[in-house]
Structure 1
Amino acid sequence: MIKVLMAMRHGVLPKTLHVDDPTTKVDWSAAGVRLLTEARPWPETGRPRRAAVSAFGVSGTNAHVIVEQAPELDAAPRPADPAPAPVTDAPAVWVLSAKSAAALVDQARRLRDHVLAHPELDPVDIGYSLLTTRARLEHRAVIIGSDRGELLAGLDTVIESGANVGSERVAVGRTTRAGRVGFVFPGQGGQWAEMARELLDSAPAFAARIGECAQALEPHIDWSLSDVLTGAPGAPSLDRVDVVQPVLFSVMVSLAALWESFGVRPDGVIGHSQGEVAAACVAGVLSLADAARIVAVRSKLVQQRVIQAGGDGGMASIAEPVERVEQRLAQWPNRLWVAAVNGPAAVTIAGDVEALTVVLDRCAAEGVWARRVPVDYASHSPQVEPVREPLLAELATVTPAESTVRFHSTVLNAVAEPSQLDAEYWFRNLREPVRFDAGVRDMVERGYRALIEVSPHPVLAVALGQSIEATGHDVDDVAVVGTLRHDDGGPDRVLLSLAEAYVSGVPVDWSVLYSGRVPRRIDLPTYAFQRERFWIDTADGVSAAGNTERALWASVERGDLDEFATLLAADDERQRESLGVALNLLSNWRAGQDTARPNAWRYRVEWIPGGFDSAPVGGHWLVVLPRGTAAAEPARTCLRALGEKGAHPTVLELDTAHPDRTALTEVLATADGILSLLALDDRPHPEYAALPSGLAATMVLAQALSDTGNTAPLWLITRGAVRATPADAPAAPAQAAVWGFGRVLGLELPTAFGGLLDLPDEIDESISGAVVSALGNTAGEDQIAIRPNGTYVRRLTRDRTRGPGAAGWRPRGAALVTGGTGALGGHVARWLADQGADHLILISRHGRTAPGAAKLADELAACGTTVTIESRDITSAAAMTELFDRQRAAGHPIRTVVHCAGVSQPRALGQMTTASLAEDMAAKARGAVELARCLDPEQLDAFVLFSSGAGVWGSAMLAGYAAANAYLDAFAEELRERGLPATAVAWGAWSGDGMGADEVGRELRRRGIIGMAPERAVRELHRVLGNAETTSVLADIDWERFLPVFAAQRTSRFLDAMAREVAAEPVEEDAPARLDGLAELPGRERLKVLRKTVLQQAAAALGYGDPDALAPKATFQELGFDSIAVVQTVRRLAAATGLRLATTVIFDHPTPERLARHLDAEIAAQATTSGPAAVGIDAVTDWFRGLDPADAEYAEALDRMRRLLAEAVAPVAESTPGNGTATDVNDLTDDELFEFVDTEFGLS
């Protein structure tokens, strides 16, 4: 069918394939039909083209369809009197949709490339064609732009961020299941000066309804609605209740009309306080005239009879459940009342100002969020009783009408019948509590799946989300959408709100935007099919290596006797048999060479069940939330659990886009613990698309904590950052980046960092309880995943898995290496050439001008490989798209990609900036995303991401680099889940001219990180690819060196398995002799020896040949000590002196001179307690205590001891000055005697 349609469209009959030998059972000469052995034109004849398509089922059923050419469509004639569009001079709107999130991104990419290739296209025509020629699928995006540049930027946003879009011009979402649409009308609080003024000129539907409202209000007010909205001189202030309520009513009713002009009509309405008047009007239960009378007359009576009458009332909001608030108000009978229950933990109270002030002060003291509402009367309380009688009289003529739109009453807590909305109801609406929370829950249970707040500012969004979650539904199950925003009340804002509703599944009639226009339908890119494959690929043959020696060893590694014999020119069968034996021997030897040492390189991260003791968690805990995200739900459960365990938690909401480090420092200074949920905001940073906002904010939070000097533990909460159990989804890259960052915090803030906690999607009381237990764990666990089936902790273990290894993978066709002209990229390129890659494309920042690039190209070309070296920015979508498209067009698609590029600029935490963190993330993470975007799953053999051990265990001063590498590891999991052969290898250091060269290499070796030979490293990489591993850790670590340095300031349970492998250090046989020798030296001589020893060991740790180059009175910090030098010096001094020394001894005695004096004092003290005299006394004491007091031997020994002591003490007693009294040992009891001995001989 598709073939016929395309033939009709292009006027060409295509050649029939696979009929080189037509059947002889058809008489082709007489049948009047013939096969198309060649393509032929299908010209226009004045009649429509027709064709038949036949299909035969397996049972013999025949389906025969006749297809006729469709007539040409002329542009629709312009109506004589077109209806005006709801919004005039509106920006262009491009509507996209797809069956999956990945396809949606591809749709955006295809459209962007098409628009870039056709600059002549009108954005309005594109929008119209997208709207009228495309289906409405589940995953949706809407881009709004005033010009081509804004629209293209919007497409880039979708491409770069996918479903995580937070933009003023773009809405992306996934439609929820079909359900009812509800309009929500708030009370006061959302007003602002000249709100919606722009819509008076740009939205005819809105302006017309405002005019009707003004006319309906006119008999009841003495001011102009238009003047208030436009800010005309002399217009009354919105501070007056009798002004703000009629104006808000008019704006809300008119905004509802604007929504309806786009085809969005409510199935039900709900109002909060005075918002019920607008709700009833929009529902059709009240006429506009009656609704205007109610809002104007009632607000005027409140102004006259309550406010001007001197009522001392006010209102306040408290973030607590209503039950707790009622307990607070029990102390204030007849003075304070619950005025509204807005959400599960959002209550408004009303009453006397004095009592309100006391309650607010108490809440502040308890860390409970509470704020005064800016009104000057106590609505929904007895203070409005004076209004009742005159109001009932004024509203006696109000006549409700029947309506098909449900009115969800927050007075009755039910769907109200129209007849119930009489004058009495509208007084109760003012006097009784607002049951908004219950009303919203009822709507959700009744199947509402979109709640649109029709107001100048969305004041109820948080309460709506909380009430939705309280029903047991996920917050994403019900779309919550606003209309306008404070100081953002124009047509662009309206269109974005419509877009947000549309991408959530609300039907929007976008066609009304084209009323009065004559747009054209134009050709646009077709659907971006994802082309999933479900068959097994067969490996292509591998071409011989160009170099004879390399080719010979390659044949040995493969066990390829034919190639082995050919290379050695062995022709006869006897020679081949002999070579077969040799080949087996060489293969075994080669395998042993490859695996003997690299076996020790292979590690993997595992999650094991974690059981640990937990200490009580108390004090003031600060729970930090990202503003405007779904983090409130886990925060609430954690808050509750912390409170139940005795802590006093408070909430701090943070703007993750622009956190204030100075302000945070003030808040964090007094905290006893910090629980950060900032990581849950994984939206792109508004200024740096490659940087998750939550990660950037976490950095600032940690910096602020460091600035305070407070050692309160900082715990970072994530969701889905790790795959702790087989049931878990792949790790989310943006969340995983926070774990990489956090591991470095543990090294740079050793006393202030608590750890990392990953939570599941669903959080109940057991999960929150496990969180609190983890916060107080005494086992030193700081990398914890909490799941419904238990708690898991992270460990590094040896990887002893086996698989097909190198024989399981070979490169085919073209291979791309990013960072290809660098040291690592060069090694990878040589290896790919050896393995048979036909074409190598090496890209880097400098391309052919990079040092050594020309030599590398010549070397690779000599192997018989085509080489292309280019300068490319891998973070540029356009640059990567052009490269991949060029290769496909040339018939050499890229089948293998090795992403080696990346930069690491060491920076201490305090010196990092958002820009530097974004730079660290860009090349690694953003580059990987752009590469993945360009990959063709059908032609891809391998996508290798070069990660780093810094992301696995952390590395001081490389927090951004660690975050980027942790992102890559998780990204590989995500891609593998999507069916792409992605592999991330977290490397240690390479030797030679790579990562482990020169001073860097020497420094790494000092830390216990040994450089890996590149030839063996690439063979290990080959094994990883052959085993189709998703993530792997390959590093050569001297754990005996590495562990003491790494854990100098903070223990690492993550490396427990490695610590167990390290044998206990052997006790040096000469240590006691050294100690004895030092102890016997005179004090001045001993100090001289110790001073020299300290300087020698310090010089050795710093790599100095001459200890005299070090100043004895300079601080170790001034001498250039780091944590490695500290650990090594302490260990050497402990071995030289035989003393037990804590690592902190150098910090406690921070110069060589002071450290030497400390060692001298320690040795002197030990000599006192362990010299010959002390040893003899210990022996006598043990013998004496072993005697039976009843024996005669005991009495004799005791008598002798007393005489001995009397003789020893007598000279001391005689020299005692003043009126001191010497001790008479004859008067001592046995126990007192032993205590005296210990004291006098310094043994206590």
Structure 2
Amino acid sequence: MLSNHPDTLPDGRIPVLISAHARDLVAAEAGALARYLHTHPAGVPQVAQTLRATRPVRRHRAMVRARDVGELISGLDAVYRGAEHPLVVRSHQPEAARTAFVFPGQGNQWPGMGADLLAVAAYRAEADRCHDAFLRAGHASPLSYLRGADESDDTDPAVQRGSTQESRSWDRRDEPVVVQAAQFTHAAALAATWRHFGVLPDITVGHSLGEVAAAYTAGVVDLDAAVAVVAARAQLTDLLAANAPVRFGMAMIAVSAETASEIIAETPGWLELSVVNGPESVVISGEWPAIQQVLNAAQRRGVFARELPVRYPAHTSALEPLRDQLTAQLPDAQFHSTPVEFLGSVYGAPIPAGAAFRQYWFDNLRRQVRFDLAAAAAVARGVTTFIEMSAHPTLLIALGDSAGTALVLGSTDRDRPAAEALAANIAAAAIADPGYRWRDFTPPDAPAPLRHFPHAPMHTNRLWAGAQASAPRHRAPVVMTERWVPAGEQEPRPARVAVNDYTGQSAELTAQLVAALETSHVAVVTDPEEAELLLLIAPPADTTEIGAAAAEFAQYAAAQTALHPGRNCRRVWLLTRGAEQLEADPPARPGPAALAALHRSTGFDYPDQTYAHIDLPTQTTHDDLRAAVGALALNDTEVAVRGGQLATRRFVESPAAQTVPAVPHSVVITGGTGAIGMAYAAYCAEHGVRDIVLLSRSGGTDTIAAQLAVLRARTGARVTAIRCDITDDAAVAAVIAHHRPAPVGLLVHTASAEAVATAKVTETAVRDALGAKVIGLDNVVRHWPLRADARVLVCSSVLALWGGSGHGLYAAANRMADIKVGQLRAQGHDASSIRWGLWRSVAVVSGEEKDRIGRTGLTPMSPEAAITAGLSAAPNDPAILSADFDRLAVFFDSQGVPSPFDAALSADLFTPTGAGAERPVAEVVADELVTVLGLEGPDDIDMHRALVDLGLDSLLALDLRKRLGRATGLRVALGPLLAGMTGAQLTAVLRDDAAPSPATERTVFTHD
């Protein structure tokens, strides 16, 4: 009996998985493991099991296939250095994989193609099932062809258990059936092997003969019915080829269907377009002399073309006379309904409802193959990984040009031992799927975890010390404006969604949302443990009064943070109403806005899930709900729905003001004796302000008093420090009654609780966080006398926009202060909330906490530059920060969040960052060709010879495209690489300093 738990991959190697929430930590873990293995006696099984038992699977993953400790150390060293290695695969794909098994037609088979794989138990078990089925139907076994034996092999168990007649080897009379039976068996056995190793199909896609194996693998047809289709097809097409008055042939050619039609029209003799594989890949069938002319014409044009070893005109009108004969030989079988969807190339879609079994399989032989439509249908269904079930890939090129960003893999190929190639491809598919079940490799008698094993590395100050090799792109503060940009309408992706009205205040909206999900054919589950997406419904918030909103937030915050995602969950959405203010909106509601800020920060406690936010309008329509369901398929994590349309948040750099506006002569600063308040006081005094009032709970220490005395003496400004708890409404009124201040022209609100990281949401913590920042702001702007043209400037934080680990309450308080500022603007005040980054030597955080925030990519701004930028900025609640945007991009990526910065602001994020980014294009091309072709060095490359003459094939072309894309940021079309392009032409087109060659006159390179 076949075990459900493989111990090793098909090549006998053990998968050793390393993962972490950041790229650099994967390298750090690899280095630590390599050092451990140099000093501790441990085997590969023990290391693999210890990692499986002690490490969760995180966003950034690397896997080493190792047979022994030497291979493991070699692979770990490559991971540590970031180098390529044949036994190492990597991925940071955050979304669960959706996989399609692809089954090609004839043309890539040869005797012996399954010989090595018959030693793989899963492959052999399925091959034996097919052997039995073909013998039952009265045909020769396909096993001899798979082994490459022309005579019976008495050592073969399948031969030993049958009679001599039943298990006879195939001869020339059997060949048509045996060859196609072997191809069917090989594909079905490969699919069974992939399944055994934990890579399961969501969809199967068939091409011509491959449709039979695709339908069988999906469970749409039974094995005996599939065998009948294969045999009837083979016998009748062989009869047609043998009795035809002329010789027929088929040719694959790398042109579009339109160009192929032109070639057919220009060529004497009978030809038909029989297969459309992709945008630049077709097959033409017809009379042999005409096929020869097509091949010669392609050679003259410099277009890739090759003859297919098929001697009948498949998928043309010439097969019409076979209709009655074929349907008579087929059983009266039925198609079955199964969880795995089958897409055939007959219609480029699923089998039509009510389709007759016999008619469908005649259409499969007679009609034009539209693999391009079937592949497009799979992409539209969200497929992220295509895997070809064949001895050597034939459809990867077509898939590579039509599958977008999906991963495209083969199973085996001619140039490597089959078990090794299959293991490498299984590893590539597994590492790309964050939901892959690595624990299935745990044997029943798994060894105990190793003692003194290295701990999982974490970020510390030491790891970042001195790591910055170049200056950040922006040292001066950058002023950014928040904009909401339209997002394309999304089709819901298949996923299990749980909807949680966690306060019980939104029963009606919850019911409407569940109905919208079900209408969109999204699976709604009641058990959060089963959900892939968890959708939390924030309570409605009708109040706009800050005090009441703060009380509501305190009521709901703990309940929201107490919810934990299930083990299968990959994304947690919070749905609010009126939490964001788009262009035509009234001011946002403070309660939902604060809950959204809290939610963003909560996500930092769950590195294996992404926390995201959808905001609906306060009056929600059916179209809004439909759009919200579509938003669940977006990669963006900040989404607003307005008028049934989706928008996502971006930050765009604002133009710098030409001059700094004059500061009014009278200023009041809350939190005035704190670090930021004192920085504002010094700036104002040094820029001519005559009357400065500092409000603070302490009123100032002796040290503060000494600093103020120096400031007064240096500038002549009157600076008054007043003790006042601004969270107390009566205390604010009493201070005003006592001091009777004149109306001021500028109110700067810096008062705030420290941003001390705390994940515990308690009533006391909420009160402390919201007190000075929110309630204090409300009290001061209501009571303190302001001039009619006074400006209100509130110091907020970028943490209100994207959160921070343990800073949920601090982020929520700042976000609620932002909303209060929006209310002030709506009332006619010149008010602005500035979302600050880090200040140098001045911050509400210090020590390790400040360093931790700085490691996200934020770099400290000088107080003078920061305050100048804030006073110069338009009153639109800007974000003002200095940042190393490369590192900031890594920070967002580590959280599964797309970078929110506009491309114009962070152009350096969109330029190549690989080794080729600063090198001449010719050098990049030469080096990548050396690596791909396995040469000694650039001197071994003739840049004026066709790349295919240098040894480039379809698999190597895919690898070259990946490498050039990583090094240059450009996407390379595969067809021209295999159609006679030289290294010099490749360089010229990349450099854009020469016209494309005739073979590449279509668009060859586009930005990814």
Larger Rg: 1
Q: Tell me which protein shows more helix as a share of its residues.
A: 1
Q: TM-score with structure 2 length normalisation?
A: 0.45
Q: Using CA pairs below 8 Å that are at least 6 residues apart, which structure has the higher relative contact order?
A: 2
